[in-house]
Every structure is written in structure tokens, then in C-alpha cells.
Amino acid sequence: MSKRIAGAATIGLAAVLALSACGSGSDGNGGGDGGDKAAGGPVTLKMVAADYGDGPTAENSGDKFWKSVVDEFQAANPDIKVEVQVINWNDIDKQVATMVQNGQVPDILQTGDYSGFVQDGLLHKVDEVLSPNTQSDLLEKFAEFGKVDGTAYGIPFVSSARALFYNKDLFEKAGIAEPPKTWDELKADAEKLKKAGVSQPFGLPLGQEEAQAESFLWFMGNGGGYKDDSGKWAIDSPQNVETFTFIKGLHDAGLTTPNPGTKDRKTVWEDFAAGKVGMVNGGPMSIPIFESGGLTNYGVTAIPGKSGPMDTTLGVEDWIMAFNKNGHQEQIRKFFDFFYSSSAVQKISDTYKLLPVTKSGIEKLSSDEKLKPFLDALPNATFYPFTDPKWSEVNTAIKQTIGSAVSGDPAKVLGEIQKIAEGS
């Protein structure tokens, strides 16, 4: 008897351990929807989304945003329940990977990349989960990036573009009339700012949060990029090495954020908001951070390139996608169509200053003065080479190591990343 009890206890304990191990990333609310379906009751859609806000307790948290969307949706569709789990950007990739490894995929995922899941055959095609009406409202150029080998899998969710923000008060204090247009002007202005006592004349976040964006913007300013025109990886191209040599020069002269290879963009944006940074590359989504920090007297302009303002910028698209494993195609379609026609799209732009991906959404925003520079930049935007299967691995390497090119040897650091990109 005691053996049986002990045995049962053992199995129970093991199950608890196994469950808690699997659920470590999912707050333990995974599973369970299969039972609902068998019973013929309401279907529960499990959704995982990235947090565009300032964490779970903030007024603009993803939890609060999605709760308002889901409440509205559930009121209209009482037979579908939606459980949303919001995860911050630093952890979402790894947590989703853990879910996939454990066979606990969500029905809907909203994050920064979709292409990795396509190779593993995990996603619904867009045609299966989005009505033609909604599809035709998406900007063609954006929807195009959602395709792998001609078939659409990723649905554009939000987009953003980048520009140079500069602190007008600090510029005035340093006696600078105009924001810089070239690298030389940028350096000269940074020196003036330094003399005026600004501790970080140019904010340079090359830490793991978004080093890939900051580096890309600098590469573009010198006609470089992650790939060359023929589509081959060109991370250690002569232009890129020259670019980082220039950045290294800025850093060595004390004109940037100290130790940029360890600084996340959020920290640097907060420093800009606090008036400690003269200029910094940012996007519409940095506006709320600047304003909540009390900074309102800032200007926005095109990012300086080596010999003139850049005619392109970094465009970022985030995605929403549907997994095909749990067989909730119909319910997912209902939710997507509801979402794209609801006021939620407008709410994202208002709350997070992200740019819409639908024609109707952009039309509604065209009168917003603050977003105008970014809406104008979108048509010319350049995107990450994220449809390349090597991108995620390259991206990991960039995030971790590219910042050390500023303190070390640019050619060597970029060469190491190129080696990873070219590896099998």
C-alpha cells in the first residue's frame, strides 16, 4: 500500500516537475484547450504577444492593451475565448522556442519575425486565416515581406521607421544652429556638445537589445548594409569596416555613450529624455519615452550619412501569425478580421507611436505632425534580411558582439560575424 502511495506520489511529483519545467515560460496556463474542444464548448485561443509598453505594471502595458481588445472580441464572439500572454522583447524569442520544443505552441503569435517557423511547417498560410477584404487593406509593400517562396505566412502587424532626434536646448547651449547632415558635421557638433558639458553627445546603443538596428543605420549611411546588392552577406565589407572605424573614432574621443557595446537602447533613450544625450537615433516608439521623461524641445531629422543625409532608413515590421497545430483556423480568422477592422489598430499608434500597416490606418494618421517624418520615410525604408534562414543566427551574433568592434578591431569583429553568416 505504502509503495503504491509513494509510487503515485512519485509520479505526481514528477508530473508537477515536468509541467513546471514546461510551463516556466508560460506562467503555467498552457494546455487545456484540447479539452474544451472535445467537449464542444467554447474554444480557447492561446495567444502570445510582445510587450510594446513599459512592462506589466505600466499604464501602457501589453496586458492592458490586449485585455481591452479581447474583451471587445469576446463580447461579439461568446463562443471563443482568447487567452493572451504578454512577454517582453528580451525573452519572447527564447520562450516561444521553448514552447515549440515542448509541443505547446500558441494559436496566435505576435512578435518580430515569422520566417523561422515557416521552414518547420508550423504556420497557417495567410489565405487560410485572413479574409480577402482584410488582406487587400494591407500595404502591398509590407505584405510582400510576409512571403516565403511566394506564399504569404506572416501578417504585418505594425511598422516603424528611424530618424535622428536631437535635443534643441543642448544644441542651442552648444551654439549649433542646424542638425548635422554628414558624418563630419556630426563629429564637429558632438565636439561642441562635449565642450558644453554634455556627457553623451551622441547616444550609441550597441548593446544586445538592438545593436542590429543601430549598426544597420550607420552601415546604410556609408552605402553598406548586411548584404550586398547581389544578396550575399557583406557584413565585413570595406564600407562597413570604414563605418565602424569612424564610430570607434567618435567613441575614443569620448563623444558617444561610454562602452556602447553594453548599452541598451532603452537606457540611452531614457538618458536622452533626461537631457544627458545630445542626439540619438530613434523612432516613433521612442517619443513616449522622451515625453514621459519630460523632454519636449527636441527635433527630428533625417539621419546623417557619410556625405549627406540618408535617403533611406531602417524600416521595421512586426508580425502576427497563426500556428496550424491546434486546428483553430476558423476562430483565428474571426479574431484577425475583428482585430484589423477594430479601433485597436488606431489605439496601437496612439499608445505606442507605432506606424500602421494598413492603408486605412495610414490615412487616419496622415494629420499627425509628429509621426509625419516617419510616415514619409516608410516608402523608402530598408528592412533587415530577415527572410534569410541564417538571419536569426547572424542577428544573435550581432547583438552580442558587434559593440566590441568599437573598443577592439572593427575588421576582426565584423569578420567573425561574417564567418557565422557564411557558415553551413
Partner 1 sequence: MQQMPALKRVARKLEPLAWIGPAMVLIAVVVVWPVIEMIRSSFLKISRFGVVQGSNGTGNYAKLFDEADFGGVMIRSVIWVVAVVALTVLISLGLAQLFNQRFPGRRVTRWALIAPWAASVVMTSIMFKWMLDPEVGLINMIRRDLGLIDALGGADADPLGAASTAMPWLIAVAVFVSVPFTTYALLAGLATIPAEVYEAARVDGASRWRTYWSVTLPLLRPALTVAALINVMNVFNNFPIIWVMTHGQPGYSTATSTIFMFILKGSDIGESAAMSVVNFGMVIVLVAIFLKVTNWKTEVPR
Q: Which of 204, 306, 223 is nearest to 262 (CA)?
A: 204
Q: Are strands 315-322 and 200-203 parallel, antiparallel or unpaired?
A: unpaired
Does residue 101 belong to the site contacting partner 1 (CB under 8 A)? yes
List 13, 19, 58, 188, residue binding partner 1 (CB under 8 A) = 13
Cα distance between residue 413 and residue 169, in whole Å: 37
Residues 107-136 that bind partner 1 (CB under 8 A): 116-117, 119-120, 122
Q: Looking at 72-80, 98-106, 144-152, 325-333, which segment touches partner 1 (CB under 8 A)? A: 98-106
CB closer to partner 1 out of 260 and 284: 260
Residues 309-348 that bind partner 1 (CB under 8 A): none
Does residue 208 belong to the site contacting partner 1 (CB under 8 A)? yes
Does residue 17 belong to the site contacting partner 1 (CB under 8 A)? yes
Cα distance between residue 166 and residue 202, in whole Å: 9
Number of residues that bind partner 1 (CB under 8 A): 51
Cα distance between residue 363 and residue 355, in whole Å: 11
Q: Looking at 11-19, 37-45, 215-223, 354-362, which segment touches partner 1 (CB under 8 A)? A: 11-19
Instruction: State the number of CA atoms in the 13 A half-sphere of 178 facing the CB.
Output: 7
List 30, 106, 305, 403, residue binding partner 1 (CB under 8 A) = 403
Cα distance between residue 159 and residue 380, in whole Å: 13
CB closer to partner 1 out of 321 and 357: 321
Neighbours of 16 (CB within 10 A): 10
Across 3-128, where does the E strand assignment appear? 43-50, 80-87, 108-111
Provide the minimum distance between the beta carbon of 413 and partner 1 in the complex, in angstroms, as a whole number.
Answer: 8
* 418 touches 387 (CB < 8 A): no
Does residue 292 belong to the site contacting partner 1 (CB under 8 A)? no
> What are the two backbone dihedrals, phi and then psi, of residue 396, each rounded to the nearest 5 degrees?
-60, -45
SS3 167: strand
List 89, 396, 409, 411, residue binding partner 1 (CB under 8 A) = 396
Helix segments in 109-254, DSSP class H: 115-119, 126-129, 132-137, 140-144, 168-173, 183-195, 211-221, 238-252
CB closer to partner 1 out of 70 and 247: 247
Does residue 3 belong to the site contacting partner 1 (CB under 8 A)? yes
List 33, 51, 93, 236, residue binding partner 1 (CB under 8 A) = 93
Residue 23 class from Cβ within 10 Å (0-12 exposed, 13-18 middle, 19+ buried)?
Answer: middle
CB closer to partner 1 out of 240 and 401: 401
Cα distance between residue 234 and residue 134, in whole Å: 37
Provide the minimum distance between the beta carbon of 292 and partner 1 in the complex, in angstroms, as a whole number.
Answer: 16
List 357, 401, 410, 414, residue binding partner 1 (CB under 8 A) = 401
Q: Which of 107, 221, 122 is nearest to 162 (CA)?
A: 221
Does residue 205 belong to the site contacting partner 1 (CB under 8 A)? no
Lay out the site mask for partner 1 across 355-394 (x = CB under 8 A, - = otherwise).
-------------------------------------xx-
List 25, 106, 154, 207, residue binding partner 1 (CB under 8 A) = 207
Does residue 24 belong to the site contacting partner 1 (CB under 8 A)? no
List 95, 408, 409, 411, residue binding partner 1 (CB under 8 A) = 408
Provide the minimum distance between the beta carbon of 169 and partner 1 in the complex, in angstroms, as a whole number.
Answer: 17
Cα 60 to Cα 55, 186, 261, 270, 336: the distances in Å are 8, 34, 29, 17, 22
Residues 254-283 that bind partner 1 (CB under 8 A): 254, 258-259, 261-263, 267, 271, 274, 276
Q: Looking at 93-101, 154-162, 242-250, 288-296, which segment touches partner 1 (CB under 8 A)? A: 93-101
Alpha-carbon dihedral 209, 362, 337, 91, rounded to 10 degrees:
0
- Please, which residues bridge with residue 167 across strands? 298
Cα distance between residue 189 and residue 299, in whole Å: 15
| Contact residues for partner 1, defined by CB under 8 A | 2-3, 6-7, 9-11, 13-14, 17-18, 93-94, 96-98, 100-102, 116-117, 119-120, 122, 199-200, 207-208, 254, 258-259, 261-263, 267, 271, 274, 276, 392-393, 396-397, 400-401, 403-404, 407-408, 413, 416, 423
